[in-house]
Amino acid sequence: MLFQRVHPIFLIFAIWLAGLGAAAQFAKITIIFGELSAYYGQSDARSGFLLSTISLLGVIFGLYAGVMGAKYGNRKLLIGGLFLGALTSFAQVLLLPFWGMITLRAIEGISHLAIAVAAPTLIASYATDKIRTYAMTLWGTYFGVAFALMSVISPAVLKNGSFDQLFLYHGIYMALIGVLLVLCMPNPRVNLSTAQTPAPDTNFWIAHVQAYKSPFIAAPALGWVFYTLTFVSMITLLPQFVAEDQRLFIIGAMPVTSIIASLTLGTYLLRIMSAVKVVTVGFALAFVVSLAMIFSGINAWMAIALYIGLGLVQGATFAAVPQLNNTIEDRSKANGLLVQTGNFGNLIGTPVLAVTIGTFSQSGMLVIACVTYVIAICVHMLCGYLRNWYRPA
């Protein structure tokens, strides 16, 4: 580390910028999905592997990435993930044959896992008690902000060159952020006492059992899976049920609304109640809006109101990780579980709701959403009960 004294707020924003690069690993493919399908002459279903490969890796290895970060250092994991992501982006410029590109996406999935697990753990470590909740809420916006920025930036890139230039600029961005963090990011473990120094069991199965049986480590992720089941899928599927002249508006407005709700109403509520309670309030609001749409029908403003509730879940879930877990080891595992359950929810959410719409139309989709949010509330209530009773050895 070149610079010895760097303000924590600068570090937090720098790590958040790394998160934008990780989210762009999804966004860059989403934006040029049609062009990639045409270039490779593949069906949309086969081309979907270019997106789902990262999600599958997250489902399988999400927690293990957290264990590796806890054992070997999240700083190394984050910086390594950024440079690996830069190298794979540069290699993607070559537009290798289809399965070569799938292989590169698998390698990029390792990069994504490293960043998505290490970054929030580091933010929680560098933030003071006074700003930690706000810092974690900021982190919770990284995915939505990255997609919004890519949708604004990419047309200019695509206009001035072929779509492979998007890979080039993404690689440059990842490398620059990696260099920035090498220069200014200290090791957050330096000041830890021996008792706090992580020494987790790296056995794959034992690590999963230990993490999921803890209502402290697992609680944020167990609620998060129900959030991710509907967040992206609703943005994809819900607009078809509103007036045609409003569809483009709500496609952009829904994720932006969730970000604004997280940074405003969410941060206010986090000042007066615990993060888990804010998550529960968010799910309850999403349930009420979904239930209302069953009876009143879907319209643009109700759709946007739904994402106010989901925005509360978004930021408060990440804030819950350091609130419930005091050590870097447990926070790394909790963030690993968030990556794992989040990717699982994203992977199955859209197909499940699409099948439901095909059978029961919009009412079926909304009933599934209502049930999902009720289960999420019950899961958090159960975890809260277990935390009052259970204490880890």
Q: What pLDDT digit, counting tens, does each position of 118-163 carry? A: 999 899 888 888 888 889 889 988 888 887 888 788 888 888 767 8
Higher pLDDT, 108 or 143: 108
pLDDT score of 194: 38
pLDDT at 204: 67
Cα dihedral 4, 326, 76, 20 sign? negative
Alpha carbons within 13 angstroms on the beta-carbon side of residue 330 total 19
Cα→Cα distances 380→229, 236, 309, 313, Å: 16, 27, 16, 12
State the average pLDDT over residues 246-252: 79
pLDDT at 90 over 90: yes
The interaxial angle of helices 49-72 and 328-389, nearest 10 deg, is 90
DSSP 276-330: HHHHHHHHHHHHHHHHHHHHH---HHHHHHHHHHHHHHHHHHHHHHHHH--SHHH
Question: Domains in the chain, please, with CATH?
Answer: 1-188 (1.20.1250.20), 201-393 (1.20.1250.20)
State pLDDT tens for residues 199-215.
Answer: 555 566 777 777 888 89
Q: Please, which pLDDT band fits residue 393 given cuts at 50, 70 and 90? A: very low
Q: Is the pLDDT of residue 111 over 70?
A: yes
Res 391: pLDDT: 58
Residue 191 has what pLDDT?
Answer: 46
| pLDDT tens track for 153-188 | 888 888 876 788 899 999 999 999 999 999 988 876
Q: What is the pTM of this model?
A: 0.83
What proportion of the chain, given as a percentage, has pLDDT over 90?
37
Q: At what angle do helices 74-92 and 8-31 cross, to 10 degrees?
A: 30
Residue 20: Cβ within 10 Å count: 21
17: Cα separation from own chain's centroid: 14
